Structure 1
Amino acid sequence: MKSMKIACHCQNLQLELDWEPPQFQARACDCGFCSRHGALWAADPDAQLIIQIREPKQVKAYVFATETAQFQICQICGCVPYVSTVIDKQLYALVNLRCWSDFELTRIQIQAVSYLGEDRQARLARRSARWISKIQSSLAV
């Protein structure tokens, strides 16, 4: 497995992702929030993710629209290294490859996606099938 270090700019939110990506693929969601942040989301249901937070009080979970995902924002530097959701008491997450320590845009295959019009049930089913579920986190959900 390949280990990737992902973190916000000030290192308050630190993630370690262990996975075997066939290639670095990311989804660029066209919603206003993701577009404004330039987020490039990636996940693999077989990956393992460790989330460590130095100052949990400096992390803000932002929700909007269907309120089914929590965008984890560092209040110190403003970065959004991951988004999480809880489905049937199981934590799932996506990581933002723009926060990867070895980020190089030329190494990433980007797929533009739009989830506008997707109903809540379909959204949660997609996430439970595609998002990372093997997660250790120091931040309560």
Structure 2
Amino acid sequence: MHPLTGSCHCGNIRVELTLSREPTEYTPRACDCDFCRKHGAAYLSDADGSLSIHVKAMERLQRYRQGSGIAQMLVCGHCGVLVGGLYAEDDVCYAAVNVRIIDGGANFAASQPASPQALPDAEKIERWKRLWFAHVQLDADCD
């Protein structure tokens, strides 16, 4: 297992994740929707890993639904950094982390473009449940 940490710029939102494989074996996905492009986001997930998201000041945790509105994007309301995306179903919280917030030292493969907006909603959800971190620990309600 490979533990990593990261945070938004101001440190209000902090993540602790454990990957099941070497970081070099992961290819972050750079969503090509307008929202993710404008944030420069590329996402990392590991269905066999673990993820905890800690928030110091809850009033600064912003949740934004865009596109199909199914997933929530977590953004720090203080520094504006996009931390990742969440999806909740049947009391299970799934998430992907913006690789740009990971602290230095992890060498991931070059990001590859992804176009989830081109998928039907049911296919997106199935994909998230298969690929994203599951049973995510979040200091707030997942949905």
Give TM class, smaller chain: over 0.9
1:111 aligned to 2:112?
yes
TM-score by length of 2: 0.91
- Contact kept, 8 Å, 1:13 with 1:74, in 2: the verdict is yes
After TM superposition, what 4+ stretches of structure 1 lie above 3 angstroms from structure 2?
Answer: none
Structure 1 unmatched ranges of 5 or more: none
1:135 paired residue number: 136
2:61 paired residue number: 59
**Higher strand residue share:** 1
1:6 paired residue number: 6
| In structure 2, distance between residues paired with 1:118 and 1:88 | 22
| 1:79-114 Cα deviation digits (max 9, x unpaired) | 01121011233110000110011167x743211111
| In structure 2, distance between residues paired with 1:61 and 1:46 | 25
| 1:23-49 Cα deviation digits (max 9, x unpaired) | 232000100000000001010101111
User: Identity rate of aligned residues, in percent?
Assistant: 27
1:72 aligned to 2:69?
no
- Contact kept, 8 Å, 1:47 with 1:134, in 2: the verdict is no
Q: Say how many residue pairs are matched.
A: 140
1:30 paired residue number: 32
Structure 2 unmatched ranges of 5 or more: none
CA RMSD after TM alignment: 1.5
Using the TM superposition, name which of 8-17 and 78-87 deviates more: 78-87
